[in-house]
Structure 1
Amino acid sequence: MNRNLFLLTLAVACGCASRSMNTDLLQARIREQAIQLAETQREMAETQSELKQAKIEAARLKSELGQTDVRRDASARMLAELHRVHIYPLASGGLNKDNAPGDDAVVVQFAPLNRNNQPLQLAGEVQITLRDPKLAEPKQVIGQWSFSADECRPKWTRGLSSSGFQFTLPIERPVQHDSLLVQIRFQPTEDQRFDATQVVKVNAPAGMATVQAARAGRQAVQVVDDVDEFVPPAGFPQETAEEEEFAEPEFSDSDKEPSKTGRAILHSSSWTEDSIPRFR
């Protein structure tokens, strides 16, 4: 009896242990599946985000492609209309950026024009040369700059009186004269080139032009200190103090001695009662 009870108890215990093990195993599998499900959901979210970004990028590229086509068509049209390049004199000139005497930069505004003198927003390679025509030939160029078409394109500006490409360029050498010459070479394609020239006004350092003019036309001048002694002009005969004290005057038979200038000089030896000078 006791043996049967023991076996029954042992069987019940084994059954409970087996059921507990099955429950733990089931819970472990459930946790593993939950982790896999969360990982799958995360990957799906990332994929959806990448897909959305790809759609946005595709739309942007399509838009840029459309704009490129439009811009290409507009450029072709403007190339066909391009007639000349014009530099705006009123919108170009010197600029003082450092507040020191004299301009240290120059503003150049130009535009491609059609035959009706209407500006065309057509970019191209640009070369700008700044000259001082009053200087000697080797020193005339005081600045030269080059820009690609991509660098030129964002320089377009619209104003009340003019629209065109505007460049603000630094002047490395101090300007010496108030009038400079701007030369532009505009090349929208390899086969097309347009040149333009314009005189622009700048401010040279104060007194620069006056000093240069004075140096060019000034003659040497003898500077005499403010003293009591008389300094005779160049070429005037000079005598020492000793000679002036002891030298006796010599006179000719004539009452008047002709001077080097042709005017007569009266001597005291020829004074008469009527011609002697009197003090009043």
Structure 2
Amino acid sequence: MDGTPTRLLLSLAALASGCTTPAQVERLEAELRDQQDRLTAQAEALDSARTERDALRLQRDKLLAGKTPVVHPEQADLLARINQLAINTWMTGGQNTDDSPGDDQLVVLIQPRDADNEPVKLPGTLELRLSDPAAPEGSDPLGSWKFAPDECRQRWLSSMLSRGFLFRLPWQTPPTRDRLLLHARFDTTDGRRFDADALIHVRPPASNGEQPAQTSNEAPPDGG
């Protein structure tokens, strides 16, 4: 102990009795600010240590159960922070890469998020499944993709507009309707699983000069 709290108490007692000069008051205020900064830093360090401890305990339990690989220490805090998965619909949809009508590929931005709804750069195993919600039950998906943690890490985007794992995926089966359902599944390295769904809009590529089908909630025009 450096005796700082004791000195501060004595100084406060002197201040209360009026036996201080302006210089002593300024020095006392500076010491109080320094002490507060140290306490804040210690509290933040303690909170970080507790978070890492909880993540490591979770990993230990998973390892004892023989379910997951080892997590690197630098990932422990990220594992503890993520609590949801999101598909950023502002940055997800069809993209036209040529002069032909309609979109040629799907652009997807996936965001693991923490309790404050902030994107977290935590690679994991990602599965994407694209389907037509208007198709008959049991129909095959329009596309399915799977990415390992290293592949996700290479797709991380950090820009002024957004952050997340960005994927550009050519159609496996070109869509015929403009509204599609995207499902994402994200498995973390500590064995947790997160799912997210989103309805996305695309411009289906025209086939043989035909106009692509459009999804509409409007009633058909009255023929009478």
TM normalised by structure 2 equals 0.59
Alignment of 1:253-268 (within 5 A): none
Matched, 1:208 2:208: no
- What SS does structure 2 have at the residue aligned with 1:121? coil
- What SS does structure 2 have at the residue aligned with 1:139? coil
Structure 1 residue identity aligned to 2:199: V
RMSD over aligned Cα atoms: 2.1
Corresponding residue number in structure 1 for 2:115: 115
**Shift of the alpha carbon at 1:140?**
5.0
Structure 1 residue identity aligned to 2:139: K
Deviations 1:194-252 (A, max 9, x none): 00111111002352226x99xxx8xxxxxxxxxxxxxxxxxxxxxxxxxxxxxxxxxxx
Q: 8 Å contact 2:132–2:142 — kept in the other structure? A: yes
Unaligned segments of structure 2, at least 5 residues: 1-70
Corresponding residue number in structure 2 for 1:159: 159
Deviations 1:5-60 (A, max 9, x none): xxxxxxxxxxxxxxxxxxxxxxxxxxxxxxxxxxxxxxxxxxxxxxxxxxxxxxxx
Which has the larger Rg?
1
TM normalised by structure 1 equals 0.48
Q: 8 Å contact 1:134–1:140 — kept in the other structure? A: no
Unaligned segments of structure 1, at least 5 residues: 1-70, 218-280
Matched, 1:85 2:99: no
Corresponding residue number in structure 1 for 2:36: none
**Shift of the alpha carbon at 1:97?**
2.2
Structure 2 residue identity aligned to 1:208: P
Residues 99 and 173 of structure 1: CA distance in aligned 2, closer, same or farther (over 3 Å): farther
Q: What is the alpha-carbon distance in structure 2 between the residues aligned to residue 169 and residue 202 of structure 1? A: 13
Q: What is the alpha-carbon distance in structure 2 between the residues aligned to residue 203 and residue 173 of structure 1? A: 14
Considering fraction of residues, name the structure with more helix: 1
Deviations 1:108-155 (A, max 9, x none): 001110000111100000100011101112335100001111111110
Q: What is the alpha-carbon distance in structure 2 between the residues aligned to residue 186 and residue 99 of structure 1? A: 35
Alignment of 1:104-253 (within 5 A): 104-189=104-189, 191-206=191-206, 207-209=211-213
Q: 8 Å contact 1:103–1:175 — kept in the other structure? A: no
Deviations 1:141-187 (A, max 9, x none): 10000111111111000122310000111112221111111111101
Q: What is the alpha-carbon distance in structure 2 between the residues aligned to residue 148 and residue 174 of structure 1? A: 25
Higher relative contact order (CA 8 A, sep 6+): 2
Q: 8 Å contact 1:130–1:143 — kept in the other structure? A: yes
Residues 140 and 99 of structure 1: CA distance in aligned 2, closer, same or farther (over 3 Å): farther
Deviations 1:43-96 (A, max 9, x none): xxxxxxxxxxxxxxxxxxxxxxxxxxxx93331101011110111001000012
Q: What is the alpha-carbon distance in structure 2 between the residues aligned to residue 190 and residue 205 of structure 1? A: 41
Q: What is the alpha-carbon distance in structure 1 between the residues aligned to residue 105 and residue 80 of structure 2? A: 34
Corresponding residue number in structure 1 for 2:76: 76
Q: What is the alpha-carbon distance in structure 2 between the residues aligned to residue 191 and residue 176 of structure 1? A: 37
Q: 8 Å contact 2:127–2:144 — kept in the other structure? A: yes
Q: 8 Å contact 1:124–1:188 — kept in the other structure? A: yes
Q: 8 Å contact 2:104–2:205 — kept in the other structure? A: no
Q: 8 Å contact 2:123–2:188 — kept in the other structure? A: yes
Q: Segments of 4+ in structure 1 off by > 4 A? A: none
Q: What is the alpha-carbon distance in structure 2 between the residues aligned to residue 146 and residue 98 of structure 1? A: 26
Count of residue pairs the alignment pairs up: 143
Q: What is the alpha-carbon distance in structure 2 between the residues aligned to residue 192 and residue 99 of structure 1? A: 43
Q: 8 Å contact 1:131–1:182 — kept in the other structure? A: yes
